[in-house]
Structure 1
Amino acid sequence: MNQGFLVRIIFLLCCWLGMAIHGVAAVSAATNNINVSDDEKGIKQAIHWYLNGTSYNDQSQINKAFYVNARLYLPGKDDAMREMGALEYAQLFPEDKKGQFNGRLGRLISMDVTGDVATAKAEILLLNPGIRFVDVFLLKKIQGTWQIISKTAIRENAPQHGRKILFVVSNAQHYPGTSVSTGNNFPELAYAYQTFIKAGYAVDFVSQQGGSVPLEMINTSDTVQRQHLYSPDFMWALAHTKHPAEIAAKDYAAINYIGGGSAIIEIADNRAIQAIAMQIYEQQGGVLAAICQGTQGISNLKQSNGTYVMSDKVLTSFPDRYLNQQSPVFKAYPFSLENTIKQRKGKFTSGANGSSHIEVDGRLVTGMNWESSVAVAEAVIRLLDGKK
């Protein structure tokens, strides 16, 4: 992780959650810089022109993305490097097929800006044949416009299905009316993310405001957490979560609500996120999942017939008996996910503290605690694989 990235991701100590989790301090990460800079917008625009142009055979968009004298260094046959100019590259996409989707699925992974120079990475999936590219760009701001001045890529041959999972996280940094810090549960993020990525899924993050989100329960002695904490691409995604207005629900096969103290604040009442979730779950027949306190986030979801999604469903979340009701957190903002489920006429279950426990009821998957993160993700994958 480079120094500039570390400066942007600032970790602040916060309080214990008091939920019988031992030896792991709660840590809040990333200042909440919600406003996207003009430079970031310009870079995203250039990458968008490239991604959209190459997916829909639009040479004009490709040419707008690249500086006219840009050079590209691409994977060739037998590990040879293929070099070409930007105009030659654009001509690989036939003009007579302009506007036709050619099977390339692309998304921005990360970017880093230093003055008028930037780097960016994008993932390109070709579903038939199964190929994954990771494109690395060098960009420069030229006469006020960001353009790609060079591009290279790696190529991997692997089956790709092109399906995406949407993780719901929260920008809330403090419990309402208090100075008590909170955040999104980092183990849940890391373990669930890793499970989906290994299964060939792409993962995007959405929050109520977009931008960076606070983190808690980070344990750097845990290999998976440490790997993701020091992954620039993963942490960039958490520092640049999508605003609900940026989300096209049709692009996602499932939605997964991450827990942590932030999950019980604002998310359940956010109408835009509710609409995204119900389009995925009810209209598209996708999977709805939640981990630990993330279950609170789905508590107000209603089906088109007016009934709560939780109604008559078997669910789990962190049970009341494992809460430390004398903790500063509970005194500041008392809550009971167990009662929430029961009030919505759901059937609450739980397991042993510190052990994985999940419930799968139809296309609804819930996990009791962070230890359930992998099992929740695996259950979602099984449900989606069953729809093939």
Structure 2
Amino acid sequence: MSTKAVHESEISKAAVVKGQVLMVATSCDKFSDGTPTGLWISELADPFYTFKSQGYDVTIASPKGGAVPIDPTSQGQEAMTPEAHRFVGDAEASQQLKSSVPLSSVKQASSYDCIYLPGGHGPVFDLAEDQTLARLLSEAFGAGKVVAAVCHGPAGLLSAKDPKSGKALVAGRKVTSFTTEEEKAVGKDGKVPYLLDARLAEAGAHFTRGPAWGVHVETDGGLVTGQNPASAAAVAEAALRVMAGSS
């Protein structure tokens, strides 16, 4: 291919990019008792392809950078969605997960149209207390960008502040996440340091829940949250509607 053709191809690719999404995954690979945990793969893969299909570039970051740990349970046959299978077989996408960007290197929150936090149990340990993430989420929300999270991903919202009021970002807003009912069903209620739905309510959120394991999404202005793995694609779709100016 000629230099001119390569240049024209690069311009063509750039022209179809609608915006930028930052996905922030956990770096935590175990519970305090040593039981493996990490990212729930479908909660990243489903939105990854939803955003990509609408012309958004996706960057994957994590607190430590490098390889993101994957919860082995999420790779079981019953847990794997078609998009999760696609992601695992997608060399370019998988490489992003193996070489995630260190969160400390993300300087401009406003350069992303959406910051999305997938779950897995890891976020209740690291994302919940990550001050770099808290700053980025606050800056993004203040700049009118979308902040989205699913399942245990909303743990990452706990330290973020509303830049206007100084209160917790979730305070006074409708929010959902993995519920106590679902936590008990998977037998992890004794392993997590807190029950996320209760912690969000304590932070002032108007917590809502749908039926266990069903799709449930809350959109409150620029804040979009989903209850469980089944809600991941719907969270991305809701975020896209907000970015398009409709909800």
Instruction: Report if TM-score (shorter chain) is over 0.5.
Output: yes
Residue number among 126, 129, 132 corresponding to 2:13 in the alignment: 132
Work out the percentage of aligned pairs sharing the same amino acid: 24
> Could you tell me how far apart the structure 2 residues matched to 1:325 and 1:385 are?
37
Partner SS state of residue 58, structure 2: strand
Contact 2:114/2:145 (<8 A) preserved: yes
Contact 1:325/1:331 (<8 A) preserved: no
Residue number among 157, 165, 174 corresponding to 2:30 in the alignment: 174
Cross-structure match for 2:230? 371
Cross-structure match for 2:155? 296
CA displacement at 1:175 relative to structure 2: 1.4
Residue number among 183, 186, 199 corresponding to 2:38 in the alignment: 183
CA displacement at 1:279 relative to structure 2: 1.4
Partner SS state of residue 204, structure 1: strand
The letter for the 2-side match of 1:273 is: L
Cross-structure match for 1:48? none
1:350-374 CA distances to partner (integer Å, 9 max, x unpaired)? 1112221000011100000111111
Is structure 2 residue 132 aligned with structure 1 residue 272? yes
Is structure 2 residue 107 aligned with structure 1 residue 251? no
Contact 2:27/2:126 (<8 A) preserved: no
Provide runs of 4+ in structure 1 moved above 6 Å: none
> Could you tell me how far apart the structure 2 residues matched to 1:235 and 1:174 are?
21
Quick check: which one's strand share is greater?
1
1:235-294 CA distances to partner (integer Å, 9 max, x unpaired)? 100011111232132320110111101111111211111111111111x21011110100
Larger radius of gyration: 1
Cross-structure match for 1:242? 101
TM-score of the aligned structures, taking structure 1 as reference length = 0.58
Contact 2:141/2:162 (<8 A) preserved: no
After TM superposition, list the pairs within 5 Å mapping 1:105-116 onto structure 2.
none
1:110-135 CA distances to partner (integer Å, 9 max, x unpaired)? xxxxxxxxxxxxx95x4xxxx217xx
The letter for the 1-side match of 2:59 is: D
Residue number among 310, 313, 329 corresponding to 2:170 in the alignment: 310
CA displacement at 1:322 relative to structure 2: 2.2
> Could you tell me how far apart the structure 1 residues matched to 2:194 and 2:21 are?
28
Quick check: which one's helix share is greater?
2
Evaluate the alpha carbon distance shift between residue 315 and residue 238 of structure 1 in structure 2; reply closer, same or farther with a 3 A threshold.
Answer: same
> Could you tell me how far apart the structure 1 residues matched to 2:186 and 2:149 are?
26
TM-score of the aligned structures, taking structure 2 as reference length = 0.89
Is structure 2 residue 65 aligned with structure 1 residue 206? no
1:75-126 CA distances to partner (integer Å, 9 max, x unpaired)? 87xxxxx6xxxxxx9xx8xxxxxxxxxxx9xxxxxxxxxxxxxxxxxx95x4
Contact 2:17/2:55 (<8 A) preserved: yes
CA displacement at 1:219 relative to structure 2: 4.1
Is structure 2 residue 214 aligned with structure 1 residue 351? no
The letter for the 1-side match of 2:178 is: F
Contact 1:219/1:225 (<8 A) preserved: no
Could you say which structure has the greater relative contact order, defined with CA pairs below 8 angstroms and 6 or more residues apart? Answer: 2
The letter for the 1-side match of 2:36 is: S
In the alignment, structure 2 segments of 5+ residues that lack a partner are none
